């Protein structure tokens, strides 16, 4: 893989980076979004859209369903000079760039349910109110789907077609899963995993309490997996460090070769009892 330097438009606080990944002859862009829901998140882009990292700063944003549908993480892009409020979700930005505006009453969704897989062929335009697809499945009631055809020249032709087909693929065979598995371990996550946890100390420098995760949703810690808790504290937690969360034993076992390098046994605060006053 070739690492491409990414510009943060003058120095954004989110450290975006772009990676060019060759997956089965297909060249993709992988953008580091930063930490969200307990782990480092990445977004997938088509090769022609990698240049966006020179124009925008990228970050991860969590959208919580107020009706109890859990939470989802999206890639968000904004112009640093204009501030975060000027930005937009990447999937919306790309649809408007390649397929035109989004009419009132419609929304752009991800066909495979992976909300950071922003390849154009993974985006669909559907009526609002359509239930978002679970990971690995395509939504019903599709209005338009973006397709890309490669010509004999170096350019690509983009079409936004009417489609009604629905198919499904297992997450282990998805393009996003394959691409993220090719990434090297994040050096910050591998060697300084504890930096992602907020801790509180007393005047003696002793840890008295970790961050309150009572109202936090977590995504499975295994990098390729995008399963997220639909209920608070739904996932199992690493019994050693009590920080990494997993949707099941499969992902926990697959992640262990990398996670064990930063996994540290969680020690309970040592309480010194004062002798009774005389």
Give residue-wise pLDDT tens across range 207-241: 445 444 555 788 999 988 989 888 888 899 999 88
How many other CB atoms are found less than 10 A from the CB of residue 100?
A: 11
Please state the pTM of the whole predicted model: 0.70
Please name which of 136, 105, 106, 103 lies closest in space to residue 225, comparing C-alpha atoms.
Answer: 136
Band (1; pLDDT cuts 50, 70, 90) = very low
CB 219 within 8 A of CB 60: no
Q: What is the pLDDT of residues 80-139, one digit of tens each?
A: 999 999 999 999 999 999 999 999 999 999 998 899 999 999 999 999 887 766 654 444
In what order do the strands lie in the sheet containing 88-89?
57-64, 71-78, 88-89
Q: Is 227 exposed, middle or buried (0-12, 13-18, 19+ CB in 10 A)?
A: buried
Beta bridge pairs of residue 35: 40
pLDDT at 268 over 60: no
Which has more pLDDT, 119 or 275?
Answer: 119
**Residue 117: strand, helix, or coil:** strand
């Amino acid at each position: 893989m070739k690492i491409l330097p990414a510009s943060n438009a003058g120095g954004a606080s989110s450290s975006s980076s772009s990676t060019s990944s060759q997956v089965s002859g297909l060249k993709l862009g992988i953008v580091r979004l930063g930490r969200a829901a307990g782990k480092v998140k990445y977004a997938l882009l088509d090769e022609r859209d990698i240049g966006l990292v020179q124009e925008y700063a990228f970050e991860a944003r969590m959208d919580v369903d107020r009706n109890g549908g859990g939470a989802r993480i999206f890639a968000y892009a904004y112009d640093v000079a204009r501030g975060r409020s000027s930005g937009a979700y990447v999937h919306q930005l790309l649809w408007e760039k390649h397929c035109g505006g989004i009419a009132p009453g419609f929304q752009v969704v991800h066909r495979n349910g992976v909300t950071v897989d922003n390849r154009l062929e993974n985006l669909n335009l559907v009526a609002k109110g359509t239930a978002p697809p679970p990971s690995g499945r395509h939504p019903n009631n599709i209005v338009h789907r973006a397709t890309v055809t490669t010509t004999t020249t170096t350019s690509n032709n983009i079409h936004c077609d009417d489609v009604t087909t629905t198919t499904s693929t297992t997450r282990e065979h998805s393009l996003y899963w394959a691409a993220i598995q090719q990434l090297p371990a994040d050096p910050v996550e591998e060697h300084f995993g504890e930096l992602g946890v907020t801790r509180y100390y007393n005047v003696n420098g002793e840890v008295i309490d970790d961050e309150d995760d009572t109202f936090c949703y977590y995504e499975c810690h295994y990098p390729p997996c995008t399963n997220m808790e639909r209920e608070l504290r739904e996932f199992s937690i690493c019994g050693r460090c009590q920080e990494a969360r997993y949707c099941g034993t499969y992902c926990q076992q697959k992640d262990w070769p990398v996670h064990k390098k930063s996994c540290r046994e969680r020690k309970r605060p040592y309480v010194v009892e004062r002798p009774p006053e005389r």
